[in-house]
Every structure is written in C-alpha cells, then in structure tokens.
Structure 1
Amino acid sequence: MAARRRRDNVLVAVLAVLAVLGGGRTILGWFSTPPPGPSDDTTTKIVGRSQLAESFARDFVVTYLSASANQQDKIAEYVSSGQQVTLPSTGRQVSDPAVVFAEREVSNPQLEVWSVTISAKVGKGAGTAVGTSSSAAASTASSSGTTTSASNASATAGPGRQYYRVAVSVAAGRVRALSLPAAVDAPGRGSDLALANQNSCSPDTPFGQVVSGFLTAYLTGSGDLSRYTVPNSGMVAPAPAPFVSVETATVSTDTTGCGTGGGTARVLATVNPKATDGASPTLAYPLTMIFSAGQWQVQRIDPLPPLRNPLTVVVGDATQGPQVQSTPSSVATTSPSSAVQVPPAKQN
C-alpha cells in the first residue's frame, strides 16, 4: 500500500509540474512576437499557382465544349477517365475564353484546390459574333479592352457568352480537374456608389478652363502639358496621340466655388474625343488639383473617381447603408467672378 501511495504521489507531482510548465508557456505566449504574415515570396507563389489553375481551367473548358464523341482522349488529358462523359456527335464552336473569377478553396503545404469560373462564346459563329448581354460585354472588356452596347449586342445575330466553373487541383506545379465543368450564372450587377463630386462647374470657371486645357493637351498632343500640371508631376501624354480633338462635356468637383478659392480639390471630368476615323465614346478622368503660386494645377490622374465618405450605396434616387444619405436630384453650377490664370507656354 505504501509503495502504491508513493507511486500515485509521484504521478500527481509530475502532472502538476507539466501543468505549471504548460501554463507558463501560455503566459509567455501572450508576450511573444506573433508569427510573421505572408511574405512577398509567399504571395508571389500564390499568384503564380492561381495563374496556373486559371490557364488550365480555360484550356479545359474550351477543349471540353468543342470536343466531339470521338475525342474522349482529349478530355482525359484534363480530368480522370473515370468520369461519366457524354459528348455530342459534333463539337460546338467556342471562342474568346476569359477567366472571370478564381478562388482558392483548399490549401495545405502539399496541395491546393482552386475554383475557377471561365466565360466563352459558345455556338455557331462564335468566332465573330458579339456577346448578347451586359455581363458578357463587361467580361469581353476585361480580356480585350473593348465593350459593345446592349442595343448593338441584341441586334447582332450570334452566340451568347456562357459561364462555366471548374475545380482544379495544383500540386508541385501539376494541375488536374477534379470533375467536369459546371454551367453557372453570369456575375450579377453590383451596386452603384455615391460620388463626392456634387458641384458642377461651367467651362469659364477656373476648374473648367484648366481641366479642358489639360485634357486637350494630354489626349491630342497639342499644346504644352506642363502648363497645367505641377512641377515634376511625371505625367506623360499617350504617344502617339489617340485623338485629334477633345470637347469637354462636364466638370464636377467635391469642393465649392469651382476654383475661386485655394487648397486641394478632386475633380471628375468627362470629355467627348474624336479620332482620325471619327467620334469616340465619352471618357472620364478623375483628377486631383492643387492651388499653387496663384494658379490651379493638375497633380495627378487618379485611379478612382472621388467617392463619398463614408461609402454610400445608391439605390435608385436614394442611398442606403450604415450612413444613409439622400442623393441630390440636381447640383448647382457655380460661376466665379475671376477667370483662371494659366502659365505661359514654354519656349522651345
């Protein structure tokens, strides 16, 4: 009995020491440095594996949709031959494939699984026809840089753009589809966000004159661009000039006065350009402008238009969100009493 009690006491003591040590490590963990986040190298590898999965999924969807009954071997290059595949007697025409979306669903050190959505024009005449929906036009724009209006698309006979999702495994640089593609719906239309540029400026305001001169010089290559930009702005006009003339359509800003005061302003300008082959669609340019040495100058072309802060979702003529604000039905045009001063052109 005494030996058994000593053994039990030793066991209890060992457990108590382990508990103390474990608690100590927990307390030390509170003060230790957290593990480092993803490195540039890790991020680059994830992006690379994403591109690998996307490229594979795009090729698979095109091959699968265009395959005929006697081309089962082509499908086996992408997915297990154990899949129950029924192919038509004649393959369909497929063109203009584009990656719409990719998301990593499973990840461990040995393997990743990506869900990739591909869009493509499918059907007779797929190589030349125009997409038949606004979603298709948006997807085409991301891959080719051009869009077609809904009215033009509906008036053109041809195939529609279809969407397919594929699960792709990536392991040690090797890719494989887990199953056959699934036809899915096109991405839905997103929400409009309220812009901050609520004050419209007439052409004779300081903002109207500087913006018009800047965009004309920027898009047509005529005039001295540096007259309208801050020193050392680094902005360079496109070369060769894409247009021969530019007509400023609207100028609006997030400040009042349209340039009668000083400070900094964000401006959204729309222009109607003309190329050598005729008129082109309206373009929009978000600009940051600053008042320096008695004149307004363009500091940069912004990647985004000026957004209302806090971000506000527009629904019809109203807005919704945590901070609900009404969207004004009209904006006032401010005409300052003084004209803008533009520095003289540089002498060559």
Structure 2
Amino acid sequence: MKAWRRPSSEADQEGWDQVPEEYTAEEESGGEQGGWVTVSPGAVANVSAVLRWGAWLLLIAGPLLAVAAFLRPVAAVGAPAPAPKSSVVVRDTSGPAGFAQLYVAAYVEAGKGTEASLAPYYPLMRDISLQAEPGAQHVDRLAAVRVTQASPGYWSVTVAALITPSSKTGAASDKTQGGSQDEAGAGPVLRYFQVPVKTAGTGGGYEAAALPAEVAAPATGGEAPQLDYGAPVPADTHDPAVATISEFLAAYLTGGGELDRYLSPGTSLVAVSPAPYTKVSVTQLAEQGGDFAANAPVTEGARRELLVDVAATGTDGQVRPLTYALALKARAGRWEIAAVDAAPRLNTTKENQQ
C-alpha cells in the first residue's frame, strides 16, 4: 500500500495539486476492478427519504387492504346464482280476489268431462278427474270476503258463493231421500270456499296452487255494531236542519233542484246520475254524541254530525230505505251540508268494545 501526505506549507501547494501518476492510474484501474461506485451525500439522502416514505405507505396500506379483503363477499364454490326476482309487485288484493271468484264459479259448475274448463285456473287439473255431473249446481252470486297474504306473491282468498242446485239434481235428490228433503234444502245456499292463489310468471297473471277447499263461514261477533249516535227521532219538516237535509237529498237523488245551493263553501258533490228515485222523504234522524237537538240555534260555525234515515221511491214505484251520515255546518243563519261521510261513526269507547 502506498501513501502520500499533504505538503505542510503553502509553498508546496503546487506539489499538492499534482498527484503522482501512479496513484491516478491505480485509482482508475482499482475502482473498476473492485466494483466501488462513488455516491454523493445528497443522493444518499434522497434514497433514504424514498425508502422511509415507502415503509410508511406499506404500514398504512396494509390494514386497509386487509379490511377490504374481509368485507368483500366471497362466492361459494359451486353455489348457484340467485334467481332473478319477479318484476311484478302487487300492492292491492283486487287481482287475487277477482281471480279466485272466477275460479270458484268455474269449479262449482264443472263436472265429469269438463275438467279442461278449470285448467286455465289450476294447471294440474289436467291430471284430475271429476265425478260430479257437470251443471249439477250453478252460482247465483259470489264475492271475495277475505284475502290473506301467506307470503310475497301468495294469497289465501275466501270466496262466498250463493249456490243453487239444478232442478234435475234436486228432483233426483228428493227421489233418493223419499221426498224427505225440506223446501229450504232445494233453494240457494250460501257456501264458502278457500282458494290458494299465487302469481304466475312476470306478466302479472295468477294461478291456483290447489283445488278449492270448502270452509265454514267466517266467524262474527254476533252483535250489532254500536254507532256513536243518540236515539233516533221522527223527522220534523219544520226544523231548519231537517228542511235543509230534505231539499239536499231531493236534489242529490232525484235531480230536482240545484245541488250547490245546499253545500258549504269548499264542499264539492255531484248528483247521482241518472236519477234513480222520483221522491225522497226523511223519516228519522239521530245526532252524534247525544240526543237529536230539535230546532237547534244556528250559531255561526257550529257543526253537527247526523245519521239520517230516508224512504226513497224508485222509478219503478218501489220504496226502499236508505241511510246517510251527513255533516252540517252553520253559516249566515242557515244550515248547509258540509260532507256526506263515507260511513257512520262507530262508538269506540271501551265499554262498547267489551
């Protein structure tokens, strides 16, 4: 190894600047042979900063990537893809109810050899044989009286059907029973059928899931509904309230007179058309919350809720009873019709609910 030192005086500065040729040659050859590379301190600082920031990024990104991987749903191997949901959304029950009525009407009148008439309602009917005689009974009237949703797109519909046996079937039954069948047995009978109805496809159609099941009539409380009105009293045509009601109903049901003159401001009603009656008479009235106040003072803004019984004479000359729940309001010294209520008011007190 060879060494050389710096000159001790400025006089020898010139010698300091001149490096022996043997050292220069040795550095050039030795640097290449030894693989050493000279790096400046600034470059070293830059590399250190890059490495430090890279380490921080890895520390921060690691937990975030782990959380993202945990939250991502993993598809089960071999699991079938979920079936697309039906685009049909039924928000009311008129569709299933109407379908069940048509199905019951066809079912009641079907018989041996006419099974195909039920296939549009119940597809599996093609594999079922009926034993009854077709047309042995027929439906006079029917209506859906209860609709219960069993699950989305699936309902249980109870249909009431007024069914009359055919004359031929009734005679055969009388002969079989030796004439012991009473007269009521040969007339119309109200029967109830429970029908399972489901949506069919995506077009909004329906189909039955089984044959109808005959069931008992829906249970009722057996008591008359309690209305929130006092005892009814006979109508007095000299009472201002009764006079207003009589004239209003005459215009409303017979077409006689202008309807708007009896209405409170903001109340909009249209007369029944064509007019079904030729004459209307108020027979009795009851007032909500107490006894009817005859000839009550017409206090500005006062409101009364009345239950009105009417005898209406039809165009055929027949008299039929009707009942209206009316709201009256006082204005400018007279009673006016504020509303024709959709239903009479029920008494909802606890005493009447027990």
Instruction: Give unpaired runs (5+ residues) of structure 1.
Output: 1-13, 23-41, 127-153, 314-318, 323-348
Pairing 1:300–2:339 present = yes
User: How far apart are 1:278 and its partner, in Å?
Assistant: 1.3
User: How far apart are 1:163 and its partner, in Å?
Assistant: 1.4
Give the one of 154, 164, 182 matched to 2:213: 182
Give the one of 284, 291, 306 matched to 2:323: 284
Q: Kindly provide the amino acid, as one letter, of the partner of residue 164 in structure 1.
A: F
Q: Name the stretch that deviates more: 78-87 or 185-194.
A: 78-87
Query: In the alignment, what sits opposite 1:26?
Result: none
Pairing 1:87–2:131 present = yes
User: How far apart are 1:160 and its partner, in Å?
Assistant: 1.4
Q: Percent identity?
A: 28
Query: In the alignment, what sits opposite 2:98?
Result: 55
Give the one of 290, 293, 300 matched to 1:257: 293
Do the aligned partners of 1:219 and 1:241 also contact (CA within 8 Å) in 2?
A: yes
Query: In the alignment, what sits opposite 1:166?
Result: 195
Q: Name the stretch that deviates more: 56-65 or 271-280.
A: 56-65
Provide Cα deviations, 1:207-263, integer angstroms capped at 9, x if missing partner: 222222222222222233333221352222222322221221002212663432521
Pairing 1:106–2:143 present = no
Report 1:190-229 matches (<5 A): 190=221, 191-198=223-230, 200=232, 202-203=235-236, 204-229=238-263
Distance 1:53 1:226 in 2: 41
Q: Kindly provide the amino acid, as one letter, of the partner of residue 87 in structure 1.
A: Q
Report 1:1-348 matches (<5 A): 45-47=89-91, 50-77=93-120, 78-80=122-124, 85-95=129-139, 96-107=141-152, 112-125=153-166, 158-171=187-200, 172=202, 173-190=204-221, 191-198=223-230, 200=232, 202-203=235-236, 204-254=238-288, 257-258=293-294, 259-262=296-299, 263-308=302-347, 311-312=348-349, 320-321=352-353
Query: In the alignment, what sits opposite 2:78?
Result: none
Provide Cα deviations, 1:84-136, integer angstroms capped at 9, x if missing partner: 654324443322333222221012xxxx221112232334349xxxxxxxxxx
* Greater helix fraction, Structure 1 or Structure 2: 2
Query: In the alignment, what sits opposite 1:327?
Result: none
Query: In the alignment, what sits opposite 2:54?
Result: none
Q: Give the 3 Å change call, closer, same or farther, for CA 60–193 of structure 1 in structure 2.
A: closer
TM-score between the two structures when normalised by the length of structure 2 = 0.59
Q: Kindly provide the amino acid, as one letter, of the partner of residue 286 in structure 2.
A: S
Do the aligned partners of 2:251 and 2:258 also contact (CA within 8 Å) in 1?
A: yes
User: How far apart are 1:282 and its partner, in Å?
Assistant: 0.8
Do the aligned partners of 1:266 and 1:288 also contact (CA within 8 Å) in 2?
A: yes
Distance 1:100 1:60 in 2: 15
Instruction: Give unpaired runs (5+ residues) of structure 2.
Output: 1-62, 72-86, 168-182
Local SS of the residue matching 1:216: helix
Do the aligned partners of 1:67 and 1:91 also contact (CA within 8 Å) in 2?
A: yes
Distance 2:184 2:136 in 1: 23
Q: Give the 3 Å change call, closer, same or farther, for CA 185–228 of structure 1 in structure 2.
A: same
